Amino acid sequence: MVVELISVGTEILLGNIVNTNAAYLAEKCALLGCSLYHQTVVGDNEERMEEAIRQAVDRSDIVILTGGLGPTKDDLTKEVAARVFGRELYMDEHSKKRIADYFERIQSRAVTENNWKQALVPEGAIVIDNHNGTAPGLIIEDEERGKAAILIPGPPDEMKVMFEQDIAPYLNKLQPEGIYSHMVKICGIGESRAETMVADLMEGQSNPTLAPYAKIGEVHFRVTAKAKSEEEAEKLMRPMIDEMYERFGSSIYTTEESVTLEESIVELLKEKGMTLTTAESCTGGKLAGRILNVPGASEVYKEGYITYSNGSKEKILGVKKETLEQYGAVSRQTAQEMALGAADAAKADAALSVTGIAGPGGGTEEKPVGLVYIGCAVHGEVTVREYRFTGNREKNRDYAVVRALTLLREALM
């Protein structure tokens, strides 16, 4: 089944906002076993939108359009799609009531007249309720031609829920076989080495397949199988996943796409009944932020310290003045004392420290931009590692965060 994506909105066309919807939908449709050959971005122009929709319908089985379903005059997606499929619009009382209920729920003032425009739907269309907004989604089918257009609101928090709850099951029913997958996530091993370790598994693959995805400081491998049921797919994927565990061992922290590295670490701390603190210099709170993004992190994370200046390292973490004078703030010795000092100050079982030169300035021949020391103290035992990153300021900080999380995971295990 061939699916085509059309993203509607002049703000996308001109680059005012990033088109995250297309990336999300392309990946999800591929996982459902759909073929995608074209993506289009079209502005809020009636003539060009109609041309784009007609062209997409001619060459694809399903056309998914996002955006242009709002209450304003330039929201034209529904009207143009209805014209392409030869349908008249009518007022859907169910959708109208949901819009009224929505405004009442958020305690807004009276609904403006143009909001009722969102309750107009094409004849014969399948109406999909919007659980996070006002504009309903729509599926317009042309059974004679075997074609369909799926219209979804543009805001990502509305689009994603609608796709996962209603659109994905609809598409899945149209497929003779479903696509199922696991994401094998690896930390502590570089992309080149990781790919080399499974090169033979990727060669000559058919069902299941194995594909690598490089992430900052991590490598993910998607294991995908096509089967009539999830149970059958699991049987196909299990031997390959088992083989990857044989090769990567504890470097694999999950096989579930939704689980992040920081989530796996928080869970590990909970299992061990341990608490954590962080002491950051060049990362400026990014490390703590990653950990605190995890629901339930408060059970294990005690407090954190951003000690950017030498004075704060001395005052808050107890780093010796002699250490800073002899070795400098960016040194193995300072990272070690930061980790031990943070653990003592927070009375935590484990502590991570980060000190480095993120750039773009501040580097020397002896200590270049990208030099970072990461310390990890667990029950008083400290490990310090030196890293030399080669990205810009933001990338160097991001890599430092992932390396710190990886080091903590290794120490805990």
Whether residues 185 and 282 fall in one domain: no
* Angle value at C-alpha 268, between 27 and 192, nearest 5 degrees: 50
Same domain as 163, residue 183: no
CATH number at residue 186: 3.30.70.2860
Same domain, 25 and 150: yes
Three-state secondary structure call for residue 232: helix
Residues 237 and 292 in one domain: no
Classified as helix, coil or strand, 395 is helix
What is the per-residue pLDDT for 298?
A: 97
Q: What is the CATH number of the domain that holds 107?
A: 3.40.980.10
Task: Point out the domain boundary residue: 254, 274, 289.
Answer: 254
Do 83 and 183 share a structural domain? no
Of 145, 173, 201, the last residue of a domain is: 173
Q: Are residues 351 and 394 in the same domain?
A: yes
- Same domain as 313, residue 185: no
Report how far Cα 154 is from the mean position of its chain's Cα atoms: 18
Full-model pTM: 0.77
């990208």: which residue's tokens? 370
Q: In the chain, how many domains are there?
A: 3
pLDDT of 84 reads 97
Domain boundary among 117, 142, 173: 173
DSSP calls for 282-297: TTTTHHHHHHHTSTTG
Whether residue 339 sits in one domain with residue 278: yes
Check: CB of residue 17 under 8 Å from CB of residue 11. Answer: yes
pLDDT tens over the chain, length 413 residues: 999 999 999 999 999 999 999 999 998 998 887 889 999 999 999 999 999 999 999 999 999 999 999 999 999 999 999 999 999 999 999 999 999 998 888 887 778 889 999 999 999 999 999 999 999 999 999 999 999 999 999 999 999 999 999 999 999 888 777 788 899 999 999 999 999 999 999 987 889 999 998 899 999 999 999 888 889 999 999 999 999 999 999 999 999 989 999 999 999 999 999 999 999 999 999 999 999 999 999 999 999 999 999 999 999 999 999 999 999 999 999 999 999 999 999 999 999 999 999 999 999 999 999 999 999 999 999 999 999 999 999 999 999 999 999 999 999 99
Question: Can you give the CATH number for the domain in which 338 is found?
Answer: 3.90.950.20
Claim to verify: residue 151 and residue 278 sit in the same structural domain: no
Owning domain of residue 305: 261-412
Token reading at 360:
């773009």
CA 296/CA 263 separation, integer angstroms: 9
Same domain, 405 and 269: yes
Residues 166 and 238 in one domain: no
Residues 163, 216 share a domain? no
SS3 label, residue 152: strand
Q: Give the pLDDT of residue 31.
A: 80
For residue 33, the model assigns a pLDDT of: 79
Rounded to 5°, angle at Cα 100 from 83 and 159: 55
Using DSSP's 3-state secondary structure scheme, residue 351 falls into strand
The pLDDT value recorded for residue 107 is 80
CA distance linking residue 397 with residue 404, whole number of Å = 11
